[in-house]
Amino acid sequence: MSDSVSPPKKYDFKTSILQGLSAAWPICLGYIPIGIAFGVLAQKAGLHPIEIMLMSILVFAGSSQFIAVSMLSAGAGAVSIIITTFAVNLRHLLMSSSLAVFMGNTTRKKLSLFAYGVTDESFAVNHTRFSQKIWSLDQALVVNHTANIAWVVSSVIGGYTGRFIHEGAFGIDYALTAMFICLLIFQLKGRFYVITAVIAGGTAVILSLIIPGSSYIVLASIFAATTVLGIKKWMLR
């Protein structure tokens, strides 16, 4: 039996666009201030607005872009930046594997288009709806690429306005951290989710003191998820 999700009845292209836009607007609302914050920081690091736009289009990974800009400001080399951002984005392997079960017999072109737009925020929105069996790939694509447009446009705005904003003003450096905290809170829908978050957070803190770089984030996530899955199965027995 295929794990793909059937579109709702009376499904048409216009309906999928409207439903995708309805699900995407909260993401866009969050991306606008964070994208502007990134654009400001990138401008302070010496990037031209065109370079900021290309980075947002080609990379489209908020945390990695923030890290890359910080490393550029610190004078880090290209190899170090690439390796670091790759390690940070390893969590996308976990997100993609969770979404893969809903893809069914999707064509490679659509899969590539969908994979490009997978972020922490779009994953949270799409995975929830896929799990409830009320979502299709077309709707998910609208969510992903509407969010992408919002991110690119807001980062370019930040790049152009950055010259008028002092570095560190308005808590810009804290914008991405605040967004991830908000995402975490919305995912805490039961005790197992809370336990997972606590274990992941505690493990990440401990591993950060031992392992250099950002790979400890992925290791802590895998450890927490595996541990809680084991606890849940043991309790069900």
Position with higher pLDDT, 103 vs 167: 103
Give the per-residue SS3 of the chain. Answer: CCCCCCCCCCCCHHHHHHHHHHHHHHHHHHHHHHHHHHHHHHHHCCCCHHHHHHHHHHCCCHHHHHHHHHHHHCCCCHHHHHHHHHHHCCHHHHHHHHHHCCCCCCCHHHHHHHHHCCCHHHHHHHHHHHHCCCCCHHHHHHHHHHHHHHHHHHHHHHHHHHHHCCCCHHHHHHHHHHHHHHHHHHHCCCHHHHHHHHHHHHHHHHHHCCCCCCHHHHHHHHHHHHHHHHHHHHHHC
What percentage of the chain has pLDDT greater than the value 90? 20
Domain extents for the chain? Answer: 13-178, 188-237
Which two three-digit tokens encode residue 72?
């550029």
Q: What is the pLDDT of residues 217-234, one digit of tens each?
A: 778 878 888 898 888 888
Does residue 68 contact residue 81 with C-beta atoms inside 8 Å? yes
pLDDT tier for residue 179 given thresholds of 50, 70 and 90: low
Cα dist. 4→49, 55, 89, 162, 196 in Å?
40, 33, 26, 44, 27
Q: Measured between alpha carbons, how far is 237 from 221 in angstroms, rounded to an integer?
A: 25
pLDDT of residue 2: 45
Q: What is the pLDDT of residues 118-131, one digit of tens each?
A: 988 899 889 888 98
Cα dist. 215→86, 211, 219, 236 in Å?
9, 8, 7, 32
Contacts 24+ apart (CB under 8 A), 96-102: 98/123, 98/127, 99/123, 99/126, 99/127, 99/130, 101/3, 102/3, 102/4, 102/5, 102/130, 102/135, 102/137
- Of 2-11, 33-42, 187-196, the least confident: 2-11
On the question of pLDDT at 192 being above 50, the answer is yes
